[in-house]
Structures are given as structure tokens and as C-alpha cells.
């Protein structure tokens, strides 16, 4: 049965040089100024989207590989998405805005106060995409970076701290009675003292309580510990999985089990599956595009190698394309998961790099599950099908350049609306209320 789903946009390359490497650069937007993002945010709101999530990494990565990240702007520079959020709120009325934050970068009191301020300023539309990347540790002190699971432990303590501070004002503490002249009752504030493994502070918070609930928490981790974190804390899980019934059902079951294990209900988490759409105008064009990508030329391989070099902080462009990647190429800190994603189903010891890169350059058809090239009708079919399998929503993945946003949405939105999959109206009460509306 057709049902409404939630729609989000994932600004996948963060608040960085938009359009770099694409012909749309010549539309002359300035990526450091808010206009580009405000225009796109208004379009997303007109389209009935619940939210936009802004990817981020606070660091340019390890000192030896900074050039790999910034040379083609795949991994930086990136400005702070938290500070872009107010401009997006100002340009819209209903759209939720979810900047990515790393608990390493903010002590709990500062975080709780800044996020409370934004939640009030935005009319309850703030969310936080909480990530645990430890590669930026050196910018925040001289302590050694935490391990994978310990970083999640710290993130949990950080969120507990934020909640302790946000709840340090009981709702009755705010009196606001002009007749008696009493603004607030200090006896109803909790001192919110915390002495934990990673953080120690005293409250209460110097901010008034929320009207429509706390900022929404999102998280993208897919490891056992990452799912446990989501089960305990997240209102939204950003999910990456093949879009077939078994994968979707299994992923949802894992998150739901994690929620139940931590004393929450499955329906407390909205799961959004990421889709990186390549929309074309006809099935014949989709087939042509996929066929044309089957034998990628040298330029296409170099482009893939540059992007992977940035993500993996390892210069793949300096390696012999016709030999396997030599053992020991990747430094210890490079994520195992990212290396696995590069190699795919190939045998790393015997497969030439050319073949590994070519697999990434090849496009696939949405209709047979091999990729994301399809028409608007085909995308609507697939999203409708996801809904039939119980899915909550999707996260369309791209930059936030108006050219990209229109290319993806212009045909798709009317079809989704006609089919009753995409909302026509927003609920009052901000992001949390809109997530709970269906």
C-alpha cells in the first residue's frame, strides 16, 4: 500500500567548494556565502522535504596527506556547518537542518548552550548528526586519539551530558509573570553536576527549556557499536544498504533490536536509506549512460583515484595502475571499512588497481539493483516499493547546488506527490513534530 515517507537531503561533500569539478561552477555562486544554500533550502522546503543534513569533518586529515584532500577539493576545505544552519533557518519556515557535529570538538556545556540557542531561534528545527571520527583529535588537544568504540562511549556520555544540562530547568522554572515581575524560579533549577569518564562540569544551563522537545539526534554509524549508539540515542539513522527487500529488512531489524535493547521502541527511530540518484529523462538514456560507462577511459579512472585518494588519505594516483595495490600502502589509521569499500568484491592481492577503479567508474541501473541511474518514474517506483517494505524514508545524496537540486527534484517531486508518498503540508511544531506526523 502506498504511504507517506520522510525525505531528507544529504549534502555529502559538506560546506565546501560547491560545483568544483562540475560544469555548474559557472553559475557563479560563491560557496562561502549563504545565498547558494538558502536558495536550495527553499527548494527543498517547497518540495516537502523534512530535513537537510550537512556532512562535515573538522579536520583536513593527517599532515602528510592534506594536499590529497584539498587539491581537487574532495576532502576540504570545509567551513563549519553549525554556523551555516542559522542562515538556512532564516530562509525557510519548516525545513529541519542537521549539521554534523563531532563530540571531540565541543565541551558539553558549550554544545548544550549553542544547540539550545539554535533550537529556540529556529522554531524547533535543529538536528545534530553525531559522528565519532577520531582523525581530528590533534586539533583539540595533545591526548592520543580514542579507539573506535571508546569514541562512541565518549559520544554517549557527551549526549547524556547535553540532556542533563537541557533538563536542568524544569518546565515550571520559567514563570514569566509580568504581574508579579517574576521571570523564573531559581529553586526549580537542577545543578546538573556531572563527573564522568570523559567530561566533568557543573550546571545548570544558562538557557530556557524547550517548547517542542530537544534537538533531533541523527547518526550514521553502521558497526555493532555504531548501531548500539543509535539504538540508545538517535531519532534518525542514516542507513547505507543495497535497496533490495532482504537488505532493507535486515538493516531495519538490526536498528530496531538495538533500540529495544536500550529500552526504547522501534518506532522511536526514523530510518532513512541513502540514495545517490542519477536521474535521466528516459529508460533508453539510462541504458545508454550505463553502457557508456562500462569501459571507463583514463580520465574517468584518474577522477575516481583522486576522490578515493582523498577519502583514504593515500595517494592512489602515484601507484601503478596495472599492478595490485602493494601491501602496506594504507597507513594504520585508514578505516578498514573504507578500504573494503574500495576493493569491493575483488581480491586485493591479485586485482590490478585499474580494475578496482573501473568498478567504481561503472554506473548501474536502478531497475536491476546494480546502481542509481534511472528515470523519475523508476525512482518513484523504487521508493514506493521501499515504503511497502515498511521503510520510513529516504535520504537523497548530492551537493546542495541549485543545479543539482533541481536536476533531481523537478520531475521526481510531482510524481511522488501524485502517488501520495511525499507530503504536501508540514505539521506545526518543527522537525520532531514532522518526523512524528506519520
Ligand X SMILES: Cc1cc2nc3c(=O)[nH]c(=O)nc-3n(C[C@H](O)[C@H](O)[C@H](O)COP(=O)(O)O)c2cc1C
The phi and psi torsions of 63 (rounded to 5 degrees) equal -55, -35
Q: Which is nearer to ligand X, 148 or 354 (CB)?
A: 148
Q: How far is the CB of 372 from ligand X (least distance, A)?
A: 14
Q: How far is the CB of 339 from ligand X (least distance, A)?
A: 12
25 close to 88: Cβ distance less than 8 angstroms? no
DSSP letter for 62, please. Answer: S
Binding site listing: 56, 100, 148, 152, 223
Question: Looking at beta carbons, which pairs linking 194-199 to residues 24 or more positions away fall under 8 Å?
Answer: 194/108, 194/161, 194/164, 196/157, 196/160, 196/161, 197/153, 197/154, 197/157, 198/153, 198/154, 198/157, 198/158, 199/107, 199/108, 199/157, 199/158, 199/161
Stretch that binds ligand X, among 52-60, 70-78, 116-124, 181-189 (CB under 6 A): 52-60
Footprint (CB under 6 A) of ligand X, residues 299-358: 337
Cell (9 digits) for 253? 531489524
Of 95, 97, 274, 304, the one binding ligand X (CB under 6 A) is 274
| Binding characters for ligand X, 61-100, by CB under 6 A (x = yes) | ---------------------------------------x
Q: How far is the CB of 403 from ligand X (least distance, A)?
A: 22
Of 45, 50, 56, 124, the one binding ligand X (CB under 6 A) is 56
Q: Which is nearer to ligand X, 10 or 158 (CB)?
A: 10
Size of the site for ligand X (CB under 6 A): 19
227 contacts: CB under 8 Å, gap ≥ 6: 221, 254, 255, 258
Is 238 among the residues that bind ligand X (CB under 6 A)? Answer: yes
Query: Could you write out the three-class secondary structure of 368-410?
Result: CCCCCEECHHHHHHHHHHHHHCCCCEEEEEECCCHHHHHHHHH
Strands 216-219 and 127-130: parallel
Binding site listing for FMN: 56, 100, 148, 152, 223
| Binding characters for ligand X, 129-148, by CB under 6 A (x = yes) | x-x-x--------------x
CA dihedral 146, 148, 154, 158 (to 10 degrees): 120
Of 52, 57, 383, 422, the one binding ligand X (CB under 6 A) is 57
| Binding characters for ligand X, 187-226, by CB under 6 A (x = yes) | ---------------------------------xxxx-xx
Stretch that binds ligand X, among 127-135, 162-170, 190-198, 202-210 (CB under 6 A): 127-135
Nearest one of 224, 49, 198, 230 to 131, comparing CA atoms: 230
Q: Residue 219: helix, strand or coil by DSSP?
A: strand
The residues of the shown chain that bind ligand X, judged by CB under 6 A, are 10, 55-57, 100, 129, 131, 133, 148, 220-223, 225-226, 238, 240, 274, 337
Amino acid at each position: 500500500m502506498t504511504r507517506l515517507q520522510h525525505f531528507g537531503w544529504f549534502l555529502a561533500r559538506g560546506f565546501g567548494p560547491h560545483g568544483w569539478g562540475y560544469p555548474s561552477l559557472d553559475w557563479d555562486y560563491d560557496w562561502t556565502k549563504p545565498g547558494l544554500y538558502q536558495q536550495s533550502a527553499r527548494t527543498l522546503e517547497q518540495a516537502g522535504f523534512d530535513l537537510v543534513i550537512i556532512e562535515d569533518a573538522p579536520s583536513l586529515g593527517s599532515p602528510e596527506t592534506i594536499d590529497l584532500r584539498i587539491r581537487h577539493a574532495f576532502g576540504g576545505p570545509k567551513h563549519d556547518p553549525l554556523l551555516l544552519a542559522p542562515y538556512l533557518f532564516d530562509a525557510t519556515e519548516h525545513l529541519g537542518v542537521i549539521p554534523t557535529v563531532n563530540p571531540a570538538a565541543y565541551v558539553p556545556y558549550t554544545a548544550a548552550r549553542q544547540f539550545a540557542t539554535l533550537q529556540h531561534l529556529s522554531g524547533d528545527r535543529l538536528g545534530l548528526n553525531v559522528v565519532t571520527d577520531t582523525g581530528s583529535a590533534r586539533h583539540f588537544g595533545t591526548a592520543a586519539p580514542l579507539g573506535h568504540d571508546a569514541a562512541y562511549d565518549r559520544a554517549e556520555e557527551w549526549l547524556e551530558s547535553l540532556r542533563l544540562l537541557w533538563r536542568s530547568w524544569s518546565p515550571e522554572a520559567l514563570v514569566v509573570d509580568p504581574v508579579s515581575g517574576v521571570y523564573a524560579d531559581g529553586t526549580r533549577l537542577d545543578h546538573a553536576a556531572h563527573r564522568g569518564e570523559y567530561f566533568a562540569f557543573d550546571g545548570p544551563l544558562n538557557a530556557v527549556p524547550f517548547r517542542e522537545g530537544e534537538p533531533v539526534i541523527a547518526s550514521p554509524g553502521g558497526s555493532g557499536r555504531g548501531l548500539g549508539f543509535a539504538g540508545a540515542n538517535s531519532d534518525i539513522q542514516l542507513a547505507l544498504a543495497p535497496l533490495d527487500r532482504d537488505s532493507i529488512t535486515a538493516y531495519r531489524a538490526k536498528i530496531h533490536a538495538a533500540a529495544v535493547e536500550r529500552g526504547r521502541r522501534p518506532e522511536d527511530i526514523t530510518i532513512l536509506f541513502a540514495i545517490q540518484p542519477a536521474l535521466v529523462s528516459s529508460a533508453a538514456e539510462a541504458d545508454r549512460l550505463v553502457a557508456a560507462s562500462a569501459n571507463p577511459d583514463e580520465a574517468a579512472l584518474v577522477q575516481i583515484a583522486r576522490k578515493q585518494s582523498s577519502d583514504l588519505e593515500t595517494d592512489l594516483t602515484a601507484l601503478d595502475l596495472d599492478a595490485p595495490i602493494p601491501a602496506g600502502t594504507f597507513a594504520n589509521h585508514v578505516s578498514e571499512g573504507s578500504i573494503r569499500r574500495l576493493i569491493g568484491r575483488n581480491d586485493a592481492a591479485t586485482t590490478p588497481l585499474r580494475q578496482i577503479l573501473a568498478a567504481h567508474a561503472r554506473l548501474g541501473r536502478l531497475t536491476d539493483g546494480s546502481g542509481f541511474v534511472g528515470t523519475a518514474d523508476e525512482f518513484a517506483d523504487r521508493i514506493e516499493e521501499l515504503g511497502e517494505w515498511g521503510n520510513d524514508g529516504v535520504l537523497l545524496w548530492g551537493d546542495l547546488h541549485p543545479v543539482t537540486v533541481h536536476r533531481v527534484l523537478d520531475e521526481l517531486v510531482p510524481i511522488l506527490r501524485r502517488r501520495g508518498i511525499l507530503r504536501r503540508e508540514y505539521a506545526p511544531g518543527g522537525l520532531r513534530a514532522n518526523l512524528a506526523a506519520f
